[in-house]
Structure 1
Amino acid sequence: MKTIELATGMTAAYREAGEGEPIILLHGYCGSGEYWNGVIGPISAYGRVIAPDFRGHGGSSAGEGTYGMEMLADDVAALMDALKLERAHLFGHSLGGYVALAFAERHPERLLSFSLVHSTAYPDADAAKANRLKAAETIAAEGVRPFVEGLVPKLFAPGHRDSRSAQLLEAIEIGYGTSAEGAIGCALGMRERPDRVLTLAETQVPVLLLAGELDEVIPAERRFPAAGDRISAVTLAGVGHMGMKEAPERFSEEIVAFLERVRGTASV
């Protein structure tokens, strides 16, 4: 893991592998760049993979207050500046997808493509907004560890909560690295995010929407909010909200196939 100081005032931790076109992997809530460990190898054959930790997560510095998706998107842009990357492919898992959409809105000229991985362009419904506040209150009162222990099993498909216990336990361990400030800040930021279906529909770069058939976090009706010539939609059978851990080989194949389509090097 490496660290670098950003112009936005935070210290960013990140992992990287490979060479060539930048491919930035943005993790989900209460995760870190370690979420991608099982897929970085295959993907890095197609470019320079960078897997950062969002502020307040993993090895990146934290701060108090609401972590808006726009703030996190600007952190990604600042990381690209610090690493001297003009443009990149962004793959955003869950929270990372919300950040990728904010990035597409604020920094469209810096995108080669982007992907929503187990994510959506829709805003939180009222019930979800109430749950975000409850999460923030729970974390403030009880800390991150019990919250993560309750959250992570829900991210896996029901049949994987036992059969993939090693991956589940690893995800919980990664979650312990989230600061209370980061977990609360992101919960409040996700609660406030706007509807970005139009951003998705009107983007001028290729998009991959990658969903899990058994995802209990992103229901079927919210997985593919836009369609068009530039948008590819893929569902991973038998997978929940954690495709990179539940089915890393198939997950990597879909990412690589998308990158090949974007570059015009394969007709798959």
Structure 2
Amino acid sequence: MTKHTTYTDHGAGDTLVFLHGFCESTDVWAEFTKPLQQKFRTIALDLPGFGNNTQGIADYSMESMADYVKAKLEELNVKKCILVGHSMGGYVSMAFAERYSHMLSGLCLFHSSALPDTDEKKDNRNKTIEFVEKHGVEKFMQSFIEPLFYSENRDRLQKQIAMMKEIGTNTPKESVTGGLAAMRDRQDRTDVLTAAKFPLLFIFGKEDGAVPLDKALEQCHLPDNSMVYFLGKTGHMGMFERTYETRKALEKFAETIYG
């Protein structure tokens, strides 16, 4: 069991690689991946600009982050894996799939999307960048984190919400604004889904404001081989809101691929 500064690497066998979302870190996967470590090698990475990986980041684009993931996996001697991307980590996964599909045994979009931002969402990202520039990261986190969780789940998940706020507040302002701009400018990668030669697992929360149901339905049928899991009373944070169900879905997906 090894904890490194910018990644975690546990277990042995076929590899699952976890990419966190915007203003998150490897910590969001710590409890979630523990039971999976009995069967698989599980690696979680801090994406450039986030967690402990905040030194000298010049480019926050999804493509640059995908290149970072490839370099880190080569360093860790991972030739092929199932990539699991939460939210922004899913956008990075799609950029990775576009460039390095030969390294993928499968891909899980975990509350994420291959679609680009709508004009309205781009406008909201710009307003958020202005807010962060003016008021700082801590004030932004006060209003950003809780709505990621379905309202009925918030009381029982206060500890997880507090952890997310702490991770977010410790994120450098440049990473927050850089990440927002990179998500705003990301490409439409639905063609990557259509062309995928590897299986996909989609996990969606029915109450997810970040990936609305109509957008989920627009893309989950595009790959040749996809499994889709819709969760009621679940927002954007299924690893906390529905830990058992999402973990089981991922485990079954991995077992289908790896046997």
TM over 0.5: yes
1:258 counterpart SS class: helix
User: Which sections of structure 2, spanning at least 5 residues, go unmatched?
Assistant: none
Q: Does 1:56 align with 2:49?
A: yes
Deviation at 1:65, TM superposition (A): 5.1
Match of 2:240 in 1: 245
Q: How does 1:208-219 map to 2 (within 5 A)?
A: 208-219=201-212
Instruction: State percent identity of aligned pairs.
Output: 34
Q: Distance in 2 between the 1:113 and 1:188 partners?
A: 28
Match of 1:10 in 2: none
Q: Note if contact 2:48-2:57 (Cα within 8 Å) is conserved in structure 1.
A: no
Q: Call closer, same or farther: CA 1:66–1:131 in 2, change over 3 Å.
A: farther
1:159 counterpart SS class: helix
Q: Which amino acid counterpart does residue 174 of structure 1 have in structure 2?
A: I
Picking from 131, 154, 159, the partner of 2:152 is 159
TM-score scaled to structure 1, two decimals?
Answer: 0.91
Deviation at 1:142, TM superposition (A): 2.0
Q: Distance in 2 between the 1:57 and 1:66 partners?
A: 13
Q: Note if contact 1:25-1:92 (Cα within 8 Å) is conserved in structure 2.
A: yes
Match of 1:143 in 2: 136
Q: Does 1:260 align with 2:259?
A: no
Q: CA RMSD in A?
A: 1.4
Deviation at 1:171, TM superposition (A): 1.4
Q: How does 1:1-268 map to 2 (within 5 A)?
A: 1-3=3-5, 13-63=6-56, 66-224=59-217, 225-227=219-221, 228-263=223-258, 265=259
Aligned residues: 255
Q: Which amino acid counterpart does residue 82 of structure 1 have in structure 2?
A: E
1:123 counterpart SS class: coil
Q: Call closer, same or farther: CA 1:66–1:127 in 2, change over 3 Å.
A: farther
1:20 counterpart SS class: coil
Deviation at 1:66, TM superposition (A): 4.9
Match of 1:8 in 2: none
Q: Distance in 1 between the 2:163 and 2:110 partners?
A: 20
1:55 counterpart SS class: coil
Q: Distance in 2 between the 1:257 and 1:238 partners?
A: 22
Q: Distance in 2 between the 1:62 and 1:245 partners?
A: 29
Q: Which amino acid counterpart does residue 117 of structure 1 have in structure 2?
A: F
Q: Note if contact 1:29-1:95 (Cα within 8 Å) is conserved in structure 2.
A: yes
1:178 counterpart SS class: coil
2:60 counterpart SS class: coil
Q: Distance in 2 between the 1:25 and 1:120 partners?
A: 16
Q: Call closer, same or farther: CA 1:135–1:122 in 2, change over 3 Å.
A: same
Q: Which amino acid counterpart does residue 138 of structure 1 have in structure 2?
A: F
Deviation at 1:46, TM superposition (A): 2.6
Q: Note if contact 2:25-2:50 (Cα within 8 Å) is conserved in structure 1.
A: yes
2:210 counterpart SS class: coil
2:145 counterpart SS class: helix
